[in-house]
Structure 1
Amino acid sequence: MKKKLLAAFLLSTALVSAGCGDDHSDDDHGVDAEACEHLQNGPATSVIAALGAGEPPAIRADHRRYDITLADGPDGKQGAVSFAATEATDYVIYTNAAVALSVTTASGEPVEIEESASSSEGCTDIKGRHVVPLTVGTHILTFGPTSAATVSVLIEEAAHDHGHEH
């Protein structure tokens, strides 16, 4: 039993420290490994997305998976949440379903998604990986339309610091 615990500890340490090098691609894999762990194991918070008028519920980049329930829209399930970026940097928005994502500022200005992928090396639970440069302030993330009733979302800073506690 102790050998299994030690092996699990060493594997998790290797996964978490994988992104701490100077090479940008290593950073991506480290952030992906951490995102995969949070998508699989949580912690999780359930949120009901806004559709149409009303203030979208807030999600954060707090090492937490947000299980977002989407509403019935004219073309399928969809909905919006808000995200307050605390620093101007690239954020990676992960989803566990292949669902369309659009990002705007709180005033409705579109924000360009720099990079999108429908998978991640080494983590089959990541079905969406979107790198978005955000300024400080609130942004609206709109998911859908899709056939999925819920989508799990996790947000990480692209240049994530692995040196702090979760």
Structure 2
Amino acid sequence: MNLKLLSAALLSTALLIGCGDEEENIDVEGCEHLKEGPSSTVNASATTTNLSQVKDDHRRYDISLVDVTGGKGGSVSFSATEEADYVLFTGADVQVAIKDANGQTVAIEDSKTSSSECAEIKGRHTIPMKVGLHTLTFGPTPQASVSVVIEAAAHDDGHEH
């Protein structure tokens, strides 16, 4: 009986140590994908219809921006598959706005322009999202493109980290 209890305690401790600080791990994940990919190139749209889609699939999306008032910008779509906080990492310090499927603005919970984990993170935005389609709008910016990685903030997303 004591051996089973000891084994359970050791396993629990190992899991806690292995998972570590959730915020730190998600930044490591964001850094890894911003640096190494894999990557896909998508085009932003000046309108909010027929948008290219980005996903939280451990992939970097290199978004080609279009001409908008004040510089470059544009929109892409993101479909949240669960109600959760999502972290949007950007490889450029670019303004971002989020709207839900009803066109309502989704408030960004927390924004930073860097991470201690790597220099590639120029934007780190925590966004609470409900299940459904969202529009991510970037710009205006002088940048011609922006690299984006999206990660679910919840550690129980079923992915190996």
Task: Give the total of aligned pairs.
Answer: 146
CA RMSD of aligned residues (A): 1.8
Cα displacement (A) at 1:19? 7.3
Unaligned 5+ segments in structure 2 are: 1-15
Tell me which amino acid in the other structure corresponds to 2:98.
V
**Matching of residues 41-52 of structure 1 within 5 Å:** 41-52=36-47
Tell me which amino acid in the other structure corresponds to 1:20.
C
Q: Give secondary structure in 2 for the equivalent of 1:40.
A: helix
Cα displacement (A) at 1:146? 0.2
Partner of residue 79, structure 1:
74
Residue among 105, 117, 120 paired with 2:100:
105
Moved over 2 A (4+): 160-166
CA distance in 1, matches of 2:70, 2:135: 19
CA distance in 2, matches of 1:120, 1:112: 21
Q: Give secondary structure in 1 for the equivalent of 2:115.
A: coil
Partner of residue 19, structure 2:
20
CA contact 2:48–2:135 (8 Å) conserved in 1: no
Could you list the per-position Cα deviations for residues 70-110 of structure 1 after superposition, in whole angstroms to 9, with x for gaps in the alignment? 00112110000000000000000000000000000122100
Residue among 49, 56, 63 paired with 1:61:
56
State percent identity of aligned pairs. 52
Cα displacement (A) at 1:20? 1.2
TM score, norm. by length of structure 2: 0.85
CA contact 1:18–1:30 (8 Å) conserved in 2: no
Tell me which amino acid in the other structure corresponds to 2:130.
T
CA distance in 2, matches of 1:163, 1:149: 34
Could you list the per-position Cα deviations for residues 52-87 of structure 1 after superposition, in whole angstroms to 9, with x for gaps in the alignment? 253211110000000000001121100000000000
Cα displacement (A) at 1:163? 6.4
Larger radius of gyration: 2
2:141 paired with 1:146: yes
Unaligned 5+ segments in structure 1 are: 1-16
TM score, norm. by length of structure 1: 0.83
